[in-house]
Structure 1
Amino acid sequence: MKITVVGAGNVGATLAQRLIEKDFADVALVDVVDGIPQGKTLDMRQSANVIGFTHELTGSDSYEVTAGSDIIVITAGIARKPGMTRDELIGINAKIVREVVEKSLALSPDAIFIIVTNPVDAMTYLALKTSGLPRERVFGLSGVLDGGRLAAFLAEEYGVSAAEVFPCVMGEHGSNMVVYPRFTTVQGKPMSDLMDKAKQQAFIDRCVNGGAEIVGYLKTGSAFYAPSASVAYMIDAVVNDSGIQMNCATYLSGEYGLSDVVIGVPVRLGSGGIQKVIELALNADEKAALEASADAVRKTIAALNI
């Protein structure tokens, strides 16, 4: 098993560290800035003696090291700055993602692509269309991270472990994401039963602004611990063929009444990528909210001029 991470910034490098410490695959870390991936992977390799990993870890500014990858994760792109929306990233990051897909696919034609670069829904759509691969092999980070943020907030509020919270966040990975209190549970109890609508909305608002809250603290950076952990969780499901249900940015072909758009929906991940798209029984209001979120993503996709 071989996994490539393209982009050696905070998210990519931390993801590479998480993956090599799992010790289930060789890992290649690639970045256009010569010296950064080499230096970071050298640093990581010097921890092998105490951590005990045995797989190969390589850093390079050349795509040659990515050849034969089973999974390729694209984190490359510029990070959000304070006050910047994800959509404002699209022009620069679209060019980067297109180039990464073309170069890496040529060397790893059987790879699964996981997109992290923002705006992730549009970038996943772009990667899918650029690669020509089936949707099962091209998907993005969305609800795993957004749900993890919601779970952290609810766990703190109710004094429970975050592992006892099962969040449900769908739609766009951004300001138009949709939190479903009815499908979000804390120790098995629906969020909608635990609090009134005003309190629900307060948690929803914090979840929607979860990334921006971190950007506000860091000033010159954005989140990377939770994003890298979320992607590692997705990769673990693929590598170990677990079939675990999680929300990922996925191309829809009629599910939820939506087509030719990428948004976060529940899927089962395993060997080969997406094994099944799961359709929740949404009521009229919940479905309308998802449709509105999909419309927002379509506007971003339209800016790609594919």
Structure 2
Amino acid sequence: MITIIGSGRVGSSAAAIIGIMKLDNKILLVDIVKGLPQGEALDLNHMSSILGLDVEYMGSNDYRDMEGSDLVIVTAGLARKPGMTREQLLEANAKIVSEIGREIRKYAKDSVVILTTNPLDAMTYVMWKATGFPRERVIGFSGVLDAGRLAYYAAKKLGVSPSSILPIVLGQHGESMFPVPSKSFIHGVPLTRLLTEEQIREVTEETVKAGAKITELRGFSSNWAPGAGLAVMAEAVKRDTRRSLIASVVLQGEYGVRDIPVEVPIVLGRSGVVKVLEVELTPGELQSFMQSVEAVKKLVSSIPPNLL
């Protein structure tokens, strides 16, 4: 069974796409708001009926119902409002994530956990501490989204399909993220050889500011792209595809970083993170990456100790 904690826009979008992909025949939505997960589940069951899917959605306000889940996706938390940075959400969402992490440890102790709550990397750290799980089973969703955005903006300038681009984004999921065009390829050719310096600057800026732009335009943060990215990660876990993708994980010596979660390339499978891949960076790129890591360290150090 797949459990999705949080029945807002991202959780519901992920639930719909995961069901359409038939990754499990039972999907549980959990939320503290009475009636919300039950209503979403009923609507999604009607979707399943129309599409001819053998997928049953269930809604609950009780964490105990996730017992036995092998994959738990956490989308709960306060969402960004226009003009708000991910970092401003820190303390409020740390409390939410810490409470959820303890419930997961109690009722889904063997699960792989993927979370989207912002500020993402710091919340991955809180979840890692709250569950007590090995770092391989606590994964922050962000890199699939950031890499997808980089591929989209670069593809628009190049006139190619985004699927032709293998994008790399490292570091923090936030204003200090580090897109790496020199390590993002189209069949072995780096974007730095295909785009001008001005185009590279534009693509990088558009990638970093994409989330804020969506929030500015429609008044709330993105949900369809995160839902799709979560489904891609869920597929890697449920089908053990061992797919390489970008995600936020607690590093344990890789890139010279320890006990801090940041976006890096990983191989993802049924047990969680199978391997962390280390991209060879130039001295200048490594400096930019470490600046992004420092931004995450600063956030982690600001988390109240009672929430860890």
Task: Tell me the TM-score normalised to structure 2 length.
Answer: 0.96
Q: Deviations over 1:121-171 (max 9, x none)?
A: 000001001111100000111211001111111222222111111111110
Aligned to 2:234: 235
Aligned to 1:20: 19
Aligned to 1:172: 172
Per-residue deviation, 1:80:
0.4
d(CA) in 1 for partners of 2:21, 2:59: 18
Q: Where in structure 2 are the equivalents of 1:274-293 lying within 5 Å?
A: 274-293=273-292
Q: 2:178, 2:289 within 8 Å by CA — same for their partners in 1? A: yes
d(CA) in 1 for partners of 2:47, 2:245: 31
Q: Where does structure 1 lack aligned partners over 5 or more consecutive residues?
A: none
d(CA) in 2 for partners of 1:9, 1:305: 26
Task: Tell me the TM-score normalised to structure 1 length.
Answer: 0.97
Q: Where does structure 2 lack aligned partners over 5 or more consecutive residues?
A: none
d(CA) in 2 for partners of 1:6, 1:271: 20
Q: Deviations over 1:69-99 (max 9, x none)?
A: 1011111011101110000001110111011
d(CA) in 1 for partners of 2:150, 2:259: 28
Per-residue deviation, 1:192:
0.6
Aligned to 1:301: 300
Aligned to 1:143: 143
Aligned to 2:100: 100
d(CA) in 2 for partners of 1:229, 1:23: 13
Q: 2:215, 2:221 within 8 Å by CA — same for their partners in 1? A: yes
Q: Where in structure 2 are the equivalents of 1:82-93 lying within 5 Å?
A: 82-93=82-93
Q: Deviations over 1:179-226 (max 9, x none)?
A: 11111123542111012322211110110001001011012x110000
| Partner AA of 2:49 in structure 1 | N
Q: Deviations over 1:43-93 (max 9, x none)?
A: 110122221221321011111221111011111011101110000001110
d(CA) in 2 for partners of 1:86, 1:52: 39
Aligned to 2:5: 6
| Partner AA of 2:280 in structure 1 | A
d(CA) in 2 for partners of 1:56, 1:299: 42
Aligned length: 304
* Pairing 1:54–2:54 present: yes
Aligned to 1:183: 183
Secondary structure (helix, strand or coil) at the match of 1:82 reads coil
d(CA) in 1 for partners of 2:48, 2:66: 21
